[in-house]
Every structure is written in structure tokens, then in C-alpha cells.
Structure 1
Amino acid sequence: MSDTMKTTETDEKPPKISSEGHTVNPTKSMRLGSFLSEILPLASFFVFYRLYGLYAAAIAGVSMSAFMLLYFWLVERRVAKFVVFSTLFSGVLTATAILASEKMLIKIQPTISSLVMAGVLLGGLLRGKAMMQVFFGTQFRLTEATWFQLSFRWGVFFLVAAIGNELAWRYLTEANWVIFRTFVMSPATGIFMLAQLPLTLRGRLPLDQDA
């Protein structure tokens, strides 16, 4: 799942001026980066699965995620905490799966990471805390009500995603599970992300106003 949630919000920083005198839109750049950080690891996973199998696909996906993390840290000096967690978690499970020769550990990665995020987001709401603000509050300026709504919606989405992945890897063939992960869950995540855009735009705060 990597950095998909970042694209549901709009960066409030003013445009930058390039060395050639052209205006640089940081929001557009960030959205493109978020899109690439979601697509490239999955594309690597799919291609390497077709060529070399599941273990190679898992290594390729984690390696691409780590590369994208490094790239955006060097370029923007910021990364989402969830992306760091997801990449580290996937790396540990991938290494364990290879050492133990157990493919199931690769298949349940999306389930566990989604359940963790659902638990964090929905559990935070039960404690009166919008965890989406904790993850992205330094990057985006939204009203408190908007953070709570986004936390609830993404929490439910991650819960549904976990259930979907469990059903897929248990009842589909390995090849069909890879197709499900690449061509079903990824577009579903993108569609859900875009569906949150109206809420996010309505919840933006002026630059001179605190959340």
C-alpha cells in the first residue's frame, strides 16, 4: 500500500520558483511522487513475479519501495511515517519468508499491514485522537473534524482491504492472487483516495489559521 494516503490532501505551501524562473507547483510534484511510490513497487512486484517467481517479486517490491523512500527524502526531506513502517515491515517479512522458505509470509503482508493501520486509525478514534493528523499533520493543514473523518474512512478501508487480501490468497491461485493485488487492490485504493479529495478540499485551513 505504500504512500497512497498522501495524495488525498492538498499541500498548502506556496509555489516555488525554479532557477529558470518558472513556477514550481509542490502539490503537483508531491502527487506525482505519491503516485509513483505506489505504482512502481507494485509494477516491480508483478514483473519480477512473471519472470522469476514470488520470492524475487517480493524482494523487487521492497527494494523499489526503499529506493522511493530514499529518493523522496533526498528531494523533499520528508516521508510519511506509514510508508516507513510499511517498507520496514515488508522487508522483515520478506527476509523471514525467504529464510524459512514460506511463501505464505509474503501473501499475508498486505493483511497484517492493513490490520495494523486499521487498528491504529480506528483505535485512535476510540481514544479521541485522529491518527491521520499524527501521520500527516506536519504536511497538511486541515480542520480537526476533517482529520477525524479521514481517520475513520481510511480505517474502515484498511479493514476491508485486509479482509479482501485474506480471502484472495486463501481461495485464489498464487498467480491470480498476484493479479488481484496488482490490478484490483491498487486501483481500488486509488479510487478510494480520489473519493476523499472533496472532503479534504473542504477541510483546508487558511495559512494564518491553526488547526
Structure 2
Amino acid sequence: MKLGAFLFEVLPLLGFFIGYSVYGLFAAAMISVGLGALVLLVAWFQERRVARFPLFSLLLSAGFTWAAIALDADIFIKMQPTLFNGLFAAVLLGGLIMRRAMMREFFQHQFALDDATWFTLSLRWGLFFLGLALANEYVWRGFDEAEWVFYKTFIAAPASALFMLAQLPITLRGLARVREDSSNQ
């Protein structure tokens, strides 16, 4: 991934943090949603398609931001990561119970992996999302708002990036096995 593309992807999170520092939680959420929409729009212009995972994330975030503003209740903004991560944990882990690797459903257009890799990634990401959901609940309920924003920006987001990087070896092995299988046919 190019540095510019990476920075563009973290733009909504950066906007959230700066927006919170300057304007408060509601404005931060609106800025993050707006920047997320901009990122998706640029991706659509570049690729002429929008990936499901970021689109779902943006729609969920926009819905919770709207509810928070409409009801003047910041709880919707604070609970959004819990529900988002918990939902993905349920989808990924539930898919495994039904013998379906749901990571394939979200990312099959980005990666061609073998079945074993899809199942392993679904399990790992499902457990990771479950951990994030539980951690968010603990932090937003047990700490003040500024500490929750710090956690969201400087702990949860970097942890997600590091976890993603930690999955590269298995992903690359899965890619290699698919390439090897297709060259043998």
C-alpha cells in the first residue's frame, strides 16, 4: 500500500480526533462520516466500485451519528464501535459455525485465497472484533469521554492496523497456494 493511500484511509479517524479536539464529540462524528464518504467517493472514481466492508461501516457510522444528533445522546457515538465490531464478530464467528468463511464474502474481490486461509482469517478476525467490542464497552463505560476518544484513536485503531499486518504471513501463504494450484492446472 502506498503511503498516500494509507493516509487517505486514516483520514476519517484523523478528522474524528481533530474534530473532537476543536469542536467536540458530535462534530467529530460528523466530520468522520463526511471524510469517510469522501474516501469512498474517491475509491469509486478510481475503481468504479465500492467495497462492501467500508460502505457498510460508513452507513452504520452515519446512522449512529444521525441518531446521536437527533436524540442529543452521545451514547450512540460511543456504542457504535461496540455494535460494529460485535456485529462483525457475530457474522464471522457465526459463519464459521455454519461452515462458511465470511471473510471471503467481504474481500473476495481484493484477494484470491484458498479455503483454509479464508477460514483461518475469519476465525482470527472474528475473535479480534469480539475483543474490540468488549474493550470499547469497558472504556466508554469506565472512563471519561476524552479518554474514550484517545482509546479509539490511539489504541483501537493502531491495534487494528497491527493485527492486520500480523495476518499478512498467512494471507501471503494463501495467495501463494492459490497461484501454485492455478499454475498446476
- Using the size of structure 1 for normalisation, the TM-score is 0.82
* Paired AA for residue 63 in structure 2: V
State yes or no: 1:194 paired with 2:165. Answer: yes
2-side partners of 1:176 and 1:190: how far apart? 20
- The answer for the alignment partner of 2:109 in structure 1 is 138
State yes or no: 1:209 paired with 2:182. Answer: yes
Structure with more contact order per residue of length (Cα contacts < 8 Å, sep ≥ 6): 1
For the 8 Å contact 1:121–1:130, the answer to whether it is kept is yes
- The answer for the alignment partner of 1:124 in structure 2 is 95
1:95-126 residue CA offsets vs partner (Å, 9 max, x unmatched): 11101000011000000000110011000011
- The answer for the alignment partner of 2:44 in structure 1 is 73
Distance 1:83-1:37 versus aligned 2 partners, 3 A rule: farther
Unaligned ranges ≥5, structure 2: none
Size of the aligned set, in residue pairs, is: 181
State yes or no: 1:46 paired with 2:17. Answer: yes
Instruction: Decide which structure has greater helix share.
Output: 2
Unaligned ranges ≥5, structure 1: 1-27
1:29-88 residue CA offsets vs partner (Å, 9 max, x unmatched): 5x853x335411110000010111000000001111111011101102233211111100
* Paired AA for residue 201 in structure 1: L
User: Which of 100, 104, 128 matches 2:71?
Assistant: 100
2-side partners of 1:146 and 1:134: how far apart? 13
1-side partners of 2:66 and 2:21: how far apart? 20
2-side partners of 1:120 and 1:37: how far apart? 27
For the 8 Å contact 1:37–1:65, the answer to whether it is kept is no
For the 8 Å contact 2:9–2:39, the answer to whether it is kept is no
Distance 1:32-1:141 versus aligned 2 partners, 3 A rule: farther
User: Which of 170, 173, 189 matches 2:144?
Assistant: 173
- Percent of aligned positions that are identical: 50
1-side partners of 2:60 and 2:110: how far apart? 23
Moved more, 113-122 or 135-144: 135-144
- The answer for the alignment partner of 1:82 in structure 2 is 53
Provide the aligned C-alpha RMSD in A. Answer: 1.6
1:143-158 counterparts in 2 under 5 A? 143-158=114-129
Aligned residue for 1:170, secondary structure, equals helix
1-side partners of 2:8 and 2:137: how far apart? 24
Structure 1 consecutive aligned stretches of length 4 or more whose deviation exceeds 3 Å: none
2-side partners of 1:181 and 1:165: how far apart? 8
